Structure 1
Amino acid sequence: MVAISSPGIGSGLDINGLIGALMAAERLPLGVMNARKDELNTDLSAYGRLKGAISDFKSAMGSLGAIDKFSVNAASSSNDGVFTVGASSTAAPGSYSIDFSDNGTNQLAQAHRLTSLDFADTSSSIAATGTLRIDLGGNSFDVVIDASNDSLDGIKNAINSATDNTGVTATVITVDSGSRLLLSSDKTGAANSVTLSDVSGNVAATLGMTTVSAAQDAIFLLDGHQVTSASNTVTGAIEGVTIELNALGATGTTETLTVSRDIGAVQENVQAFVNAFNDLQGMIGYLSKGDLQGDNTLISIQSEMRNIFNTAPTGLGTSLQFLSEVGIKTTRTGELELDTSVLNEKLAEDFNGVAELFAHDDQGYAFRLEALADRQLAIDGIIDTREDGINARIDRIDAQIENFEYRLTLTEARYRAQFTALDGLLSSMQSTSNFLAQQLGSLPGSAAG
């Protein structure tokens, strides 16, 4: 039977209470260590918020930190029903005539489609077997048709599941006259026609495929010159421009394709630059008054940013030197604000100059600020080094806490052993006292008179 222990029952001492009070006093340093650890975790969280703000700032700089970021073009079509258009950064502003009218020559690109003769149904044998070769634009693959798959469904499945299928899709249809096998090229263009032949047997001969729609290229006129394309998505006709042909226009009509600078997109990017800077400054201000008050890291970041804003770029092909000249000014609170009317005026006057002011390789403001953000966010950068130091201190405190808690366990065990011994001693003394009192009480003349 397990003995039931109740500390202090023999002596009447509140041993658990005494040990609890002593251990509470012993644990006071542990509270101090945990409080310091909480402070360090708060600092670590603050650096995380700072990194997030710098990362957002870096992203905004990325929209302006390279010259090609200013090559933002807007492309438009005078008739989206005839064609739509998109432009990349390599496109040059300009206007082009597009004749995609129904003039007997212009046409949309289309894929080759073929149909077989009529058969009774899709699952019955067509009474033909052998090796069927299917060629798409000079690239062919073979399928074997035997008694297990000599139906329209079987042939369809054999074609679609062929691992070396070069781009032909088979389907079956059932119409009033019977069931048919349909084949279509996955690619448009005159060069992508589909042909069937028998390597052995008579499957192609039995199917009797005929053309439903011929393989053909798209044809249209660009500034009076013919353009031929295997696809209705035309690239390369105008550098950096993608034309999507949709439908022939009315006979005798000509449409216009226009590529222009997307000033609105540039303005949005500059406003994002201003907003990101203000957000970063706001976060730095918040942290400098709170969790990172007096922190040298914040002071260093602000100092480096001020140095960039106060240092005019050199070697630019423009007379522009400071952001204030393009409408970005500093308010009394230290934030930036953008005057869009000034920016738009400068973009109209000297678009390339504004681009250089922001994005010149090595000298542009956005280029230098993005490089600064990269350094600050880099492994072994100023923030990463600070975080490593904090994490190292947290690790040391964790080790101290673990060691201290182990010592507390030993201390409590020692107290409990000591008080248990004291409890036993007092209990023994109490028993002896009671025995002596009993013996003395039994002596003659000890009774009260």
Structure 2
Amino acid sequence: MAIDFNAVPPSTWAENLARGQLSKLQAQIDSQTKAAKSRGDALNQLQKALQEYKSSLTTLTGKKSLVAMNATATPDGAATVTAKGNAAAGNYTVFVEQLASSQQLLMGDLAGAVAKAGDKFTVKLGGGESFEVALDGADRDNDGKLSPSELALAINRASGNSGKVNAMVLNNNGVSQLVLSSGKSGEKNAISLDLTGISDDGLKNGLSAPKELSKAQDAVVWLGGKANGVKLQQGSNTFDNIQGVSFTVNKVSKDTDPPLQISVSRGDSDTTANVQSFIDGYNKIYKAISDMSQSGGSGKQAGAFADDSSIRGLKSQLNAILRQSYDGVTLGQLGIKATREGTLELDSKKLGETLKASPDALDRFFNGADQNGALKQSADYLDKWLNSSSGLLKLRRDSEDRNQKDLTRRQEALQKNFEQTYNRYLAQFTKLQSMQDQMTQTMSMFGANSNYF
């Protein structure tokens, strides 16, 4: 084959031969790089899908109950009420005899109070709790006196207080007075002081005869009416005595007022929406994993994880978690069934019938005993994949990173091999071109001198 270096320079010949010699290796690396990128993109999509599914589970878990209950209190403003899924529908009459309140004490004149070494006093609560206030170091400005501000700080920082009693300073017409407030309402939180450990008369006198601004008082309500109802008394205005129902009373009832009515009913449409929200989240992750792991054929392109048994195992396990019975309840009993494609669909009519017969069936399945139902089991399994330090996705990414580094090293080695092969061919073709040029010149000389022969 004649080589025309005027038409094709040595560099082009060298490059074409070098690339042809290494083309199979380059094609192999290109194919593997493309597959690695496809797997990396698929891992990103898988992580996004798993995180979205877990987020939907977290939202449902935060509702505490998938059964939506409607709860109202009339007249408006008399009380607020909430109901959980295990509440029974019904109407309740409540008479509020007394609201709970926290005690608040205004202490006496502390202008002459002095914190002597070793002085201390004890703050006691009506329910038996107490804590000690040591006054060593309470005089923070070292002026020899104990101001209301310094005393308030000593009380609030006392070991064992932890919010049982809050001390503050009231400034009124240039006079500072100490105010003590119980941290919680109710008779058990009434405040008293044991001053036997105080030697300073000024301090003792200022603390010994407080003025009660607010009384420590229990809430008293009558469930069913004051005349023939059940008396409920406690330190808080929020009552949880009715299973699944919590109501907070805001005002005292008068005999001439309309009775406080609490109504609880099941919100079927909202309950269905909660269940459908779970089904939508599951179907989305199921379809995403199915697309990534499909084998291809019949006009469909194979997914990035078509030959990956662990991804198929992920889909299988998410499905298996929902196929279990939780606290005696199954998906089928809740009107949730699998389609031919493996997704879920809801029969809302059957769900409603089940909840009429067993109002807590939905929460028994999804929340389970000790909050260990289908929601938590699914979330815990997702954590095995999503954990940022030891999750299966993290391990897969680490493996892909190592594979990518190996591909980069192989590409760099191939590039170096190409350059060496190219330079060798370039040297050979350049030498051949030089020889051709010399031969051409020699032949030209023979042609020019042919008349002499």
Equivalent residue, structure 1, for 2:413: 406
Alignment equivalent of 1:275, drawn from 280, 292, 304: 280
Equivalent residue, structure 2, for 1:213: 214
Amino acid in structure 2 at the alignment position of 1:172: V
* Distance in 1 separating the partners of 2:47 and 2:238: 43
Task: Give the percent of matched residue pairs that are identical in Structure 1 and Structure 2.
Answer: 23
Equivalent residue, structure 1, for 2:114: 128
CA RMSD between the two structures: 5.5
Amino acid in structure 2 at the alignment position of 1:247: K
Quick check: 1:72–1:88 contact (8 Å CA) kept in 2? Answer: yes
Equivalent residue, structure 2, for 1:168: 165
| TM-aligned CA deviation for residue 114 of structure 1 | 1.0
* Distance in 1 separating the partners of 2:54 and 2:429: 70
TM-score normalised by L of structure 1: 0.64
Amino acid in structure 2 at the alignment position of 1:214: K
* Distance in 2 separating the partners of 1:394 and 1:34: 16
* Distance in 2 separating the partners of 1:243 and 1:390: 51
- Give the 3 Å change call, closer, same or farther, for CA 264–409 of structure 1 in structure 2: same
- Give the 3 Å change call, closer, same or farther, for CA 358–58 of structure 1 in structure 2: farther
Equivalent residue, structure 2, for 1:446: none
1:31-87 deviation per Cα after TM superposition (whole angstroms, max 9, x unaligned): 64134322333134335535654665677689999xx95655333222351211222
Quick check: 1:263–1:344 contact (8 Å CA) kept in 2? Answer: no
Amino acid in structure 2 at the alignment position of 1:128: V
Equivalent residue, structure 2, for 1:110: 101
Equivalent residue, structure 2, for 1:181: 178
1:263-308 deviation per Cα after TM superposition (whole angstroms, max 9, x unaligned): 2332112322443455356546765545618936799689979x99
Equivalent residue, structure 2, for 1:265: 270
- Give the 3 Å change call, closer, same or farther, for CA 238–74 of structure 1 in structure 2: same
Equivalent residue, structure 1, for 2:353: 346
Quick check: 2:100–2:237 contact (8 Å CA) kept in 1? Answer: yes
1:112-160 deviation per Cα after TM superposition (whole angstroms, max 9, x unaligned): 11112357xxxxx524334241413140212315554512222222223
What is the 5 A alignment of 1:7-406? Answer: 28=23, 29-30=25-26, 32-46=28-42, 48-50=44-46, 52-53=48-49, 71-100=67-96, 106-118=97-109, 126-130=112-116, 131-137=119-125, 138-144=129-135, 145-146=138-139, 148=143, 149-166=145-162, 167-176=164-173, 178-196=175-193, 197-199=195-197, 200-202=199-201, 203-207=203-207, 208-223=209-224, 224-235=229-240, 237-253=241-257, 254-276=259-281, 278-280=283-285, 283=288, 288=294, 289-290=300-301, 292=303, 295=306, 342=349, 346=353, 350=357, 355=362, 395-396=402-403, 398-406=405-413
Residue 128 of structure 1 aligns to a residue whose secondary structure is coil
Amino acid in structure 1 at the alignment position of 2:233: T
Flag structure 2 segments of 5+ consecutive residues without an equivalent.
Answer: 1-8, 295-299, 386-390, 438-453
1:361-404 deviation per Cα after TM superposition (whole angstroms, max 9, x unaligned): 9xxxx96x99899879966xxxx999988985874564254145
- Give the 3 Å change call, closer, same or farther, for CA 179–60 of structure 1 in structure 2: closer
* Distance in 1 separating the partners of 2:192 and 2:411: 84
- Give the 3 Å change call, closer, same or farther, for CA 328–394 of structure 1 in structure 2: same
* Distance in 2 separating the partners of 1:347 and 1:30: 63
Amino acid in structure 1 at the alignment position of 2:36: L
| TM-aligned CA deviation for residue 226 of structure 1 | 1.5
Quick check: 1:58–1:370 contact (8 Å CA) kept in 2? Answer: no
| TM-aligned CA deviation for residue 178 of structure 1 | 3.2
Flag structure 1 segments of 5+ consecutive residues without an equivalent.
Answer: 1-13, 101-105, 120-124, 431-449
Residue 252 of structure 2 aligns to a residue whose secondary structure is coil
* Distance in 2 separating the partners of 1:33 and 1:390: 20
1:390-440 deviation per Cα after TM superposition (whole angstroms, max 9, x unaligned): 98587456425414523543563576588679989999xx9xxxxxxxxxx
The number of residue pairs the alignment matches comes to 393
* Distance in 2 separating the partners of 1:152 and 1:302: 65
Equivalent residue, structure 2, for 1:5: none
Residue 183 of structure 2 aligns to a residue whose secondary structure is strand
Structure 1 stretch displaced more, 344-353 or 150-159: 344-353
